[in-house]
Structure 1
Amino acid sequence: MTRRFGLSLEAVLKTLAVAACYYVAGRLGLLGRLTVEGVIVTPIWPPTGVALAALLVYGTVVWPGIAIGSFLLIASLATPQLSTLVTVAGNTVAPLCAFLLLRRAGFRVGISRLRDGLALVFLGGLGAMLISATAGVGLQVVTGRLDTAEFWSVWLAWWVGDAMGVLLVTPLLLVLVGATGPLRLRRWKEMLVLALTTLIVVPLSVLGELSLLFLVFPLLIWVALRFQLAGSMLCALFASVLTTFEASTQQGAFLNLSAIEVMTKLQAFNGACALTALLLSAMVAEQRALRRSVQNACRELAEVLEHLAAGETPPDLPADPRADDSTRAADRPRDV
């Protein structure tokens, strides 16, 4: 009885924590909102990343926290109505479907394989977020707040924003909770140089009137090769957030562009950053794991050869079964 109550209390606390994190992430995401066809959209919607990370770490037991956080977030912006339940349902079902699809595909939270990165992109991000985008924008059309001719432009912006939340926020949260393994700070000098370079190159690329956004990608490649997921996703998120805020004011690389052009350029940049950081980090991690396994196999083989050369039985190999048979035969009593 006590154990069951303890587990229930733990589940309630996790659910409330997920709801709080979802709400805070939503408020932060709204700081970089844009207007497309009169509808407010966010190029990066962090709550989707928070929701999927919570499901990957804690399981489906915390799904009510996603619904509660979504409802509180909508209630903070407008008076809740019956149609609000449709948006809440879409925001809850989409991460749940992403979690189930990833689990079916054998996804590992460490994202240590290229197939894990591809699964997160196409199943968790681009695939499952079709649900939330369709439910949210479809509701706008049904209630008459959005014209049918404007459906696809708003739907595309909504869908990409939800997907970017998964691709940029979920991996970083998995790193922070230790699901991808312990953080190693042995190369702290290189990390310091890289951090200073990031703080200089990214603002220079984004804030300048010239379109120099391409300068971010060599930096992302460097980080992914040296520090894998932890460094590359942090760098990609910093670049995407800074670019989003610059696009919301239509300054720098987004000067004199229409709303559709701003959204197209911004989403293409954010998507390229997320894919470069995520897939390259997963590929490097997989190659390093393969190299370590080959090195371990070679080390074990060398030890076996040393024992064989010395005429000894290797410790991991069984002794000669014929010797055991002869010994047992010698120990058996003979008939007189």
Structure 2
Amino acid sequence: MAAVLVSPRFRLSLEVVLKTLAVAACYYVAGRLGLLGRLTVEGVIVTPIWPPTGFAVAALLVYGLSVWPGIAIGSLLVIASLTTPQLTALVTVAGNTIAPLCAYLMLRGVGFRVGISRVRDGIALVFLGGLGAMLISATAGVGPQLVTGGLGTGQFWFVWLAWWVGDAMGVLLVTPILLVLAGAAGPLRLRRWKEMLCLGLAAMIVVPWAVLGELSLLFLVFPLLIWAALRFQLAGSMLCALFASVLTTFEANRQQGAFLHLSAIEVMTKLQAFNGAAALTALLLSSMVAEQRATRRSVESACRELAEVLEHLAAGESPPELSDRHTDGLQHVQRSVVAGPEGPVRPPPRSDPGGRA
């Protein structure tokens, strides 16, 4: 029997096809889950959190541009599960595909790190990946309804705003969690499992009480988000924010608790304000804490290497070479010490044997 040789190109193509199909299936599942919390505003179905956009951005960041057809296929399947696709549905599918692609390209253009370990990464995800790129999907989703007469001019802007914020919330709440699960943010550490358990129990008690109570105590969620961000960074804060946002969305859909006796527009406004504030607090604070901890570890490592160099110099030995990542930092510290607060520090003049300066 002749041996069957599988070429690397065929293996690569098969891997891309499988990833694309997996992205399409996961996009569809995420879309069906997002529709569970849908609201009807001005006769149009909108979702306060649209998870597929967050999944699409995360898939592009992890697997690259080659899986973009899976996003288009998944979007078409979600639309087909609701109604018979029309010509205008192709515009919506195009918007749902182009928006994550633009988010990916803009994030890569500014040097975004998938671990979201810097404040600039969190800001880029908010303003470029979420608020900026999702302008495309909102316009492509609501624009055809205005053209075909399904929406009036007075209704357009509110429905467009609800669509845009829902897509942006999908990026801000879902993308960081998926990046953590994919291992992009580093391994999960369970050393503080007792504190993690206490945080989980507190969230299970405080969040339902704040959301379900008629006193509208939604602000009680934010101390939990701060606790989670300070102690568990991205994984803890985003899981807590997602849990609070999902529970609040379902309660808003029933117009109970903190959303009792409110109109549909008031419910959507209050819900989106809470979801946005929770996502921004969790994402930006956790990225700030992660950046500070990384800086501290780098400084401690540089100090250890410097102490080792000084020990060798004191013993009259040849000092070991410093690692490249610390050489620039030590040179910067040296220049800062020599320069002083008022400019370069010059050595004092030497005196000659006669005592003249």
Q: Please confirm whether the aligned pair reaches a TM-score higher than 0.5, indicating the same fold.
A: yes
- 1:184 lines up with 2:189 in the alignment: yes
CA RMSD, 1 decimal: 0.7
- 1:227 lines up with 2:232 in the alignment: yes
Secondary structure of the equivalent of 1:312?
A: coil
What amino acid sits opposite 1:235 in the alignment? C
Q: Which moved more, 1:272-281 or 1:1-10?
A: 1-10
2:94 equivalent in structure 1: 89
- CA deviations 1:212-268 (Å, max 9, x no partner) are 000000000000000000010000000000000000000000000011100000000
Looking at structure 2, the residues matched to 92 and 40 of structure 1 have their Cα atoms a distance apart, in angstroms, of 20
Looking at structure 1, the residues matched to 218 and 36 of structure 2 have their Cα atoms a distance apart, in angstroms, of 22
How big is the shift at 1:82? 1.3
- CA deviations 1:15-57 (Å, max 9, x no partner) are 0000001000000000000111111100000000000000000
- CA deviations 1:96-150 (Å, max 9, x no partner) are 0000000001000000000000000000000000000011111111111111111
2:171 equivalent in structure 1: 166
For residue 122 of structure 2, the aligned residue among 100, 113, 117 is 117
Looking at structure 1, the residues matched to 185 and 66 of structure 2 have their Cα atoms a distance apart, in angstroms, of 21
- 1:22 lines up with 2:27 in the alignment: yes
1:292 equivalent in structure 2: 297
2:113 equivalent in structure 1: 108
- CA deviations 1:129-173 (Å, max 9, x no partner) are 000001111111111111111111000000000000000000000
- 1:145 lines up with 2:129 in the alignment: no
For residue 84 of structure 2, the aligned residue among 65, 75, 79 is 79
How big is the shift at 1:315? 2.3
What amino acid sits opposite 1:133 in the alignment? A
How big is the shift at 1:311? 1.0
Higher RCO (C-alpha 8 Å, min separation 6): 1
Looking at structure 2, the residues matched to 125 and 140 of structure 1 have their Cα atoms a distance apart, in angstroms, of 23
2:282 equivalent in structure 1: 277
What amino acid sits opposite 2:83 in the alignment? A
> Normalised by the size of structure 2, how large is the TM-score?
0.88
Looking at structure 2, the residues matched to 147 and 86 of structure 1 have their Cα atoms a distance apart, in angstroms, of 19
- Written as runs of structure 1 = structure 2, the 5 A alignment for 1:202-213 is 202-213=207-218
1:330 equivalent in structure 2: none
Looking at structure 2, the residues matched to 242 and 113 of structure 1 have their Cα atoms a distance apart, in angstroms, of 29
1:316 equivalent in structure 2: 321
What amino acid sits opposite 1:266 in the alignment? L
Question: Where does the alignment leave 5 or more consecutive residues of structure 1 unmatched?
Answer: 318-336
- 1:41 lines up with 2:34 in the alignment: no
For residue 239 of structure 1, the aligned residue among 240, 244, 259 is 244
For residue 202 of structure 2, the aligned residue among 197, 214, 221 is 197
Secondary structure of the equivalent of 2:45?
A: strand
- Number of aligned positions between the proteins: 317
Q: Which runs of structure 1 show a deviation greater than 3 angstroms over 4 or more consecutive aligned residues?
A: none
Looking at structure 2, the residues matched to 15 and 110 of structure 1 have their Cα atoms a distance apart, in angstroms, of 23
Looking at structure 2, the residues matched to 301 and 120 of structure 1 have their Cα atoms a distance apart, in angstroms, of 36
2:329 equivalent in structure 1: none
1:324 equivalent in structure 2: none
Looking at structure 2, the residues matched to 267 and 140 of structure 1 have their Cα atoms a distance apart, in angstroms, of 23
Looking at structure 2, the residues matched to 140 and 173 of structure 1 have their Cα atoms a distance apart, in angstroms, of 32
Secondary structure of the equivalent of 1:83?
A: helix
